[in-house]
Structure 1
């Protein structure tokens, strides 16, 4: 990831006007590599934190929303103050280079922390569970007490999928609804007073309502889980709340989405509605998705926690992919 970003940083200052199709191919290749490596990295780190207490997984997930919020703020500042596109682009890529290098250094320092070494210590190989065993929730200083039947060199997938099926559905459907709306629909909602020509209704309306407000609400929702963790992992209320978010789709569709081809009626003729709806979308996404993600690794024995964390991240990416694909269809229907 760092190597690709360094290459892209250098290309900012290179005159690529004569590259035409080759520059496009290089850009697409860089995006594909970045997407793959970031997925592997995020899944691996989230899997690793599955062995840590829930507060560490919650902090990791909140960090993702913090990154989105900082990016949205930086974009607004750049929009308001910068006049040179090249300098702005260089600043963004250099920032990414610095943070990636910092992440590498901090990750290499992690095994030096006694706290981290305790939870990263090796455990006996995973085994196939019948589903009747109780998960072992250990903490520093507590004895390990879990059965050790027939060992397997790789974590068994079936008991993980069985234990996390309900939470997996919640994660997939949550992120499906979110990515159906954001950013394909939410970023096309225009201010009803756009004709006035004011900066609020033209230049800043979408960056503020669609990006900053969503990311900040998402961050707040994730951070709330550090203090409040209800409903529980086996509660029927959690999937009910997840399904309830389906109602957000028509709310956004009937705001002032433009251009409209098939659905001409605007049901919510005020700029306050997209503000409220974006807040609800971000807050519910952050709170409910974080709960489901941090609950997953705690439903299984400790030796399966890391593999379960990876499976939970797979649910997350699956929901994002499905939602992104369906957002194209929704846009055409509007």
Structure 2
């Protein structure tokens, strides 16, 4: 039970002095694994999309079609629109019940969805006549996956807002490590099963299923830990004492006023990033010039996996880890660094982006500019977005921290949706 003095002040302890200890950082590691599931569906599809969907399914005799040109942008919108909608709904209609219903159930539902994708990959082969129905069927499944995942993502950030700061960092580190592991997995499978995209996709989605099972098992183990129950129950008591255990427009507005600067930082960080990754970066092709291209693969699939997916996921992971060690700049000055990252959009725009169809000149053909810029963009995204996500629950009173965390998770998804729309607009501008 939490002391009455602490409850009267509505203060949730962050010093770890009271209650059970997280011995051996078991809960921290489990939370990091749970973080895999937050962006798992998104990472899963965007990494396999260029090789399997764009080139194998939607190109006809190596000639681009409307489906191959539009799939990446359509994927982004189909992923982020339902995700953002369910996040907004969940702000006002918090689904009750224990963790196993609010968080584990979406994982189980997505196991069914990914199994459906795997069945399509195994039993359906590409044909010109089948492009339309496969395109729209896959987008429908992706929307279903992300609608479910939105509930999972919003709830999980809300649950761990009651925990010390480093557990929010663990979720974000898990997000980025998930993307990194999936990229390494895809790269290895592509090297082993080169030029056999169907086999690559079968292996890939089978392993993705296994990762979702591991994520669900980690959630189950967390519910068995005394450390989890202590902080979870303490957060509930604090909100009941402050009469903020149920959401309302007044509570959400009060929360927003306390953390709106960090909310902007989260939105802008993810909107800028998703404008570039993966839609723009994955369509920046090698030009044959530059020092780095001597060491990068001539295979377009391998080149994209390395320069786009590996670069982004590796360095955004490093950035997220660094943010758990260093918190500079502080909450007041973070906004200036977040806004400065918009510079990367015109930089990538004038790289070798859609060089086959663009009418606007290319100024930076060499990978010697594209790859270092990708590293800086990815590192700054992981670092600054993690700082903003960590600062948000701490910008308000502790009895509002869960609502701030859920608001930040909702904003993250709105930022991803905004970036997906921006990336589609950039694709249209390049044709002008």
TM-score by length of 2: 0.67
Return the alpha-carbon distance in structure 1 between the equivalents of residues 125 and 297 of structure 2: 35
Identify if the C-alpha distance between structure 1 residues 255 and 60 changes in structure 2 by more than 3 Å, giving closer, same or farther: same
Superposition map of 1:1-334 within 5 A? 1-15=110-124, 20=130, 23-83=134-194, 84-122=196-234, 123-124=236-237, 126=239, 148=241, 153-154=246-247, 156-193=251-288, 200-203=297-300, 204-233=302-331, 235=332, 237-257=333-353, 258-259=355-356, 261-266=358-363, 268-334=364-430
Shift of 1:8: 2.4
> Structure 1 residues 17, 117: CA separation in 2 closer, same or farther (over 3 Å shift)?
same
1:217 and 1:244 map into 2 onto residues whose CA distance is 18
| Cα separation, 2, equivalents of 1:23 and 1:279 | 35
Q: Distance in 1 between matches of 2:360 and 2:134?
A: 39
Q: Distance in 2 between matches of 1:223 and 1:92?
A: 26
Question: What is the Cα deviation at residue 222 of structure 1?
Answer: 0.4
- 1:226-269 Cα deviation digits (max 9, x unpaired): 21011222x1x210001111111121122222135342141x34
Q: How many residues align?
A: 311
Q: Structure 1, residues 138-186: CA drift from partner, whole Å, max 9, x if none?
A: xxxxxxxxxx566663351111111110001111111111111112221
On the 8 A contact 2:180/2:314 being kept in 1, the answer is yes
How far apart, CA to CA, are the structure 2 residues paired with 1:50 and 1:229? 18
Summarize the Cα distance change of 1:27–1:55 in structure 2 as closer, same or farther, 3 Å threshold.
same
Residue 98 (structure 2) aligns with: none
Aligned residues of 1:51 and 1:305 also touching (Cα < 8 A): yes
Does the 8 Å CA contact 1:181/1:252 hold for their aligned counterparts? yes
Instruction: Look up the match of 1:145.
Output: none
Separation in structure 1 between the aligned mates of residue 334 and residue 404 of structure 2, nearest angstrom = 19
Q: 1:197 to 1:14 in 2, by over 3 A?
A: farther
Give the drift of 1:213.
0.6
1:51 and 1:297 in contact (8 A); partners too:
no
Structure 1 CA distance for aligned equivalents of residues 277 and 177 of structure 2: 17
Question: What is the aligned partner in structure 2 of residue 140 from structure 1?
Answer: none
SS at the partner of 1:255?
coil
2:280 and 2:136 map into 1 onto residues whose CA distance is: 28
Whichever structure has more helix as a proportion of its residues is 2
1:221–1:283 contact (8 Å) kept in structure 2: yes
Counterpart CA distance in 2 for 1:202 and 1:9 is 26
Q: Normalising to structure 1: TM-score of the pair?
A: 0.85
- Secondary structure of the residue that 1:112 maps to in structure 2? coil
> What SS does the corresponding residue of 1:91 show, helix, strand or coil?
helix
